[in-house]
Every structure is written in C-alpha cells, then in structure tokens.
Structure 1
C-alpha cells in the first residue's frame, strides 16, 4: 500500500509541478507572483474542450489552438494591465492578478455556468502495472512532460545568453534598459510563455480533474505551497516541492485521514515559513531595481 501511495503522490506532484513551473518561470523573469495563473490553466482546458466540441478540431489541433490562444492572452494581459503598473509597489501587481483571476472566472461562469464537463485523456488505455503498483498512461505522459519542461527551462536560464539576459533584466531593469535591452518585450514574452504553460498543464490535467470554472483555484493553492516548499524562483525547487507535497498528501490521507489532504498545503506553507523561509532550494532574495 505504501509504495502505491508514494507513486500516486509522485503522479499528483507532477500535476502540481506543471502549474508551479509556469508560476516560477514568470516569477524568475519578472519577480511577479501571478495569482491568476490558475485561470490560465482553466482557460487552457476550456479552450481545448470548445475547440473539439464546437469547432470540430482534432485533439492535436485543439492543443495547438489552446496554447496559441493562451499565449496571446498572456501577451495582452501584460501589455494592457501589468505594464502600466511596473513602477507600482509589488502589492499592486499582486492585487491586479487577483482581480484578473476573479474576472476570468466570472466570464467563464457567464457563458458556461458551473457545469462540470469531461475532457478525454490524451492517451487512452488500461492501467499499466509494475508489480503491485499501477499507473495510467496519461500519468506517464504528465511526468515525462514535466521533466522535459523543467530540464528545458533550467538549461535556458542557466546556459543560454537569452536566459541570463532575462534574469538580469528582472533584477535591474533600469540598468538593462541603459545597455539596450528591450525589457518590456522580454516581460511580455515571459507572460505569454507562462500562460502557454498554464494552458498545456490544463489540457494534461483536465481528464483527471474535469473541466469547470473553479478548477484552477485548488491547483493554484497546491502550486503555491509547492513553490514555498521548494523555494521561489527555483525551477528544480518547484518540482521537488511539488513531488514532496504530493507524496505527503497521499501518505497522510492513506494512513491518517483523508480530510488532512485538504489542509496539507496550508500546513506546509506555515511550517516552511517558520523553519526555512527560503524553501528547500531557495535562492537569495531578488529585489526590483
């Protein structure tokens, strides 16, 4: 039983990591904590579902449609709403993302109500068994996609000139502008990239969670707890925190009480802030210039 709970926790952690990675990438590039990332995730799932049902797209076509649409929405959010607040305090930026979160949910509820709809899995098939442990084919796809994303962005930020420029621009935007770096364009692209990752996560997770307007809220809380545990700004930390959180939730739910699953996120956040505020793999604090 313990081995199955651990594997199920790793699978759940991979789902959390997809959300946490999108938030971490944006935070690393802009130092903004995006509280509407859960709605990017939700909109990605809805866009894929609408593309299949209303427009007759294939599954692959609906994935491309959703990712492109959310990339454009991310660009628009940064350009129209976040850029005018760049010189404002961080709390203003955070409150704008909170307001945008409620706006997006309200718009979707207006058109679709509170109905819960299924999205078919990307890979069908029966459970795959490894001795006493069983996983679904879609679980393997999610874990593989998570590994590819974190490896790709880790290399991008650590080993490429563009990644280093983006991080430098986030730490000292005025200095970056003085040497000719187009800081607003970089921020715009990272918002689009973050929204695109949210869409991809929504499509992968929707067959498990189903599609409904509030689906992003719970996943956002999981991702936020994982980022706090792993360390804000750390891509490996986002993944490690997500995996640890998923395993802890499943083990506590299996051996203690299933009601503890709902409060684990909050317990983790409180414990980390008291014991190790920078998280497991946290970096030194980034300040805006």
Structure 2
C-alpha cells in the first residue's frame, strides 16, 4: 500500500508541478505572478475537447490547434490587458490576472454551465502493473510530460542566448531596452508560451480530473503552494515542490485523515512563508540601501 501511495502521490504531484512550472516560467521571464493561470489551463483542456470531440479533428491536430489558440490568447491578453498597466503597482497586474481568470471561466460556464465532461484518454491501454503498484498510461504521460517540460525550460534559460536575454529583460528592463532588446515583445512572447504550456498541461490532466469550468481553480492553489515551497522563480523548485506536496497529501490523507488532502496546500503556504519564506531552493535577495 505504501508503494502505491507514493506512486499516486508522484502522479498527483506532477499535475501540480506542470501547472506551477508554467507560472514559474512567466514569473522568471516577466516578474508577474499569474493568478489566472488555472483558467488558462482549463481553457486549454476545453480547446482540445472542442477541436477533437465537437469539430471532429484527429487528436494530434486538435492538440496542436489548442496550443496555437492558447498561445494567441495569451499574447492577446498581454498586449491588450497587461501591457497598459505593467508599470503600475504589482497588485494592479495581479488583479488583472484574476480578472482574466473570471473572464475565461465565465465563457466556459456560458457554454457548458456546471456540466462535467469526459475527456478520452490520450492512450487507451490497460493499466500497467509494477509489482504491487498500478499505473495507467495517462499517469506515465503526466510524469513524462512534466519532466520533459522542466528539462526543456531549464536548458532554455540556462544555455540559450534567447533565454538569458529574456531573464535580463525581466530583471533590468530599462537597461535591456537601452541595449536594443525589445522588452515588450519578449514579454508578449512569454505570455503566449506559458499559455501554450497551459494547453499542454490541460491535455495531459483532463482525462484524469474530467472537464468542468472550475477545474483550474482547485489546482491553481496547489501549484501556487508548490511555487512557494520550492522557491519563486526556480524551475526545479516548482517541480520539486509539486511532487512533495502531492506525495505528502496522499500519505497524510491515508495515514492521518482525508480532510488533510484539501487543506494541505494552504498549510504549506502558511508554514513556508513563516519558516522559510524563500522556499527550499530559493535564494535570498540582497538589497543595497
């Protein structure tokens, strides 16, 4: 039973991690905490459902179309709603991301209400047995997708010139603009990229969680807890935080009380902010005065 709990916890944690990863990429490249990211995750899942089940496209084409649509939506949100207020107080931008969340959720509710839809699995094969552990192909896809994304973005930010330029544009935007870097263009591109990640995450997770307009809201707080636990802006920290929270939820829910599953993320945020405000992999920032 313990081994099965660990496996289930890692799968659940990978779901948190892949959402936290998109939020971390945006924070690292633009400095914005995207409180509306859960709604983009939901929108990506619904886009795949519409293209595959309503329009009748093949799954691969539906997936690519959903990613493309979400990329355009993310870029449009940045250009129309975020850029005019980006130099204002951080709370203003944060509230705009919350407004985005309500807008996308409202659109989903307009068409589907509170209906729960079933997303067919990406790979329909029998469960896989590893000793006493039972895993589905969807579980393995979630874990593999999470690991592939974190490796890709780690290499992008650490090893590519474009990734380093994006971090420079985030950390010192005025200096980056003075040397000819198109900072607004970089920011718009990253909003599109993370919206595309949301579509990927929604495609991986929807067959497990089912489809409904508020599906992203529940996972958003878990992803935010993962970011807080791992350290804001740290890609590895977001993934590690998500995995640890998923693992701890399953173990605490089984051995202590199932009530802990719903409140564990909130407890993590409270404890980490008090005891370890920079997260387990975060770095302290030195400020000259």
What TM-score, normalized to structure 2? 0.97
- Residue equivalent to 2:2: 2
Could you list the per-position Cα deviations for residues 39-69 of structure 1 after superposition, in whole angstroms to 9, with x for gaps in the alignment?
A: 1100011111111122110111110111000
Residue 130 to residue 286, structure 1, CA distance change in 2 (3 Å): farther
CA RMSD of aligned residues (A): 1.1
Check if 1:68 corresponds to 2:68: yes
Residue 183 to residue 284, structure 1, CA distance change in 2 (3 Å): farther
Q: How does 1:139-150 map to 2 (within 5 A)?
A: 139-150=139-150
- Residue equivalent to 1:49: 49
- The whole-number CA distance in structure 2 between the counterparts of 1:107 and 1:134 is 37
- Residue equivalent to 2:163: 163
- The whole-number CA distance in structure 2 between the counterparts of 1:284 and 1:173 is 21
Contact 1:171 1:286 in 2 (8 A): no
Q: CA deviation at 1:284?
A: 3.9
The SS at the match of 1:134 is strand
Contact 1:234 1:283 in 2 (8 A): no
The SS at the match of 1:263 is helix
Consecutive unaligned residues of structure 2, counting only runs of 5 or more, are none
- Residue equivalent to 2:35: 35
- Residue equivalent to 1:18: 18
Contact 1:30 1:170 in 2 (8 A): yes
Number of residues of Structure 1 aligned to a counterpart in Structure 2? 287
What TM-score, normalized to structure 1? 0.97
Q: CA deviation at 1:2?
A: 1.1
- Residue equivalent to 1:128: 128
Q: CA deviation at 1:38?
A: 0.4
Q: How does 1:1-289 map to 2 (within 5 A)?
A: 1-285=1-285
Q: CA deviation at 1:126?
A: 1.4
- The whole-number CA distance in structure 2 between the counterparts of 1:284 and 1:39 is 31
Consecutive unaligned residues of structure 1, counting only runs of 5 or more, are none
- The whole-number CA distance in structure 2 between the counterparts of 1:56 and 1:133 is 36
Could you list the per-position Cα deviations for residues 6-50 of structure 1 after superposition, in whole angstroms to 9, with x for gaps in the alignment?
A: 111001111111100100000000110001110110001111111
Q: CA deviation at 1:103?
A: 1.2
Q: Stretches of 4+ moved more than 6 A in 1?
A: none
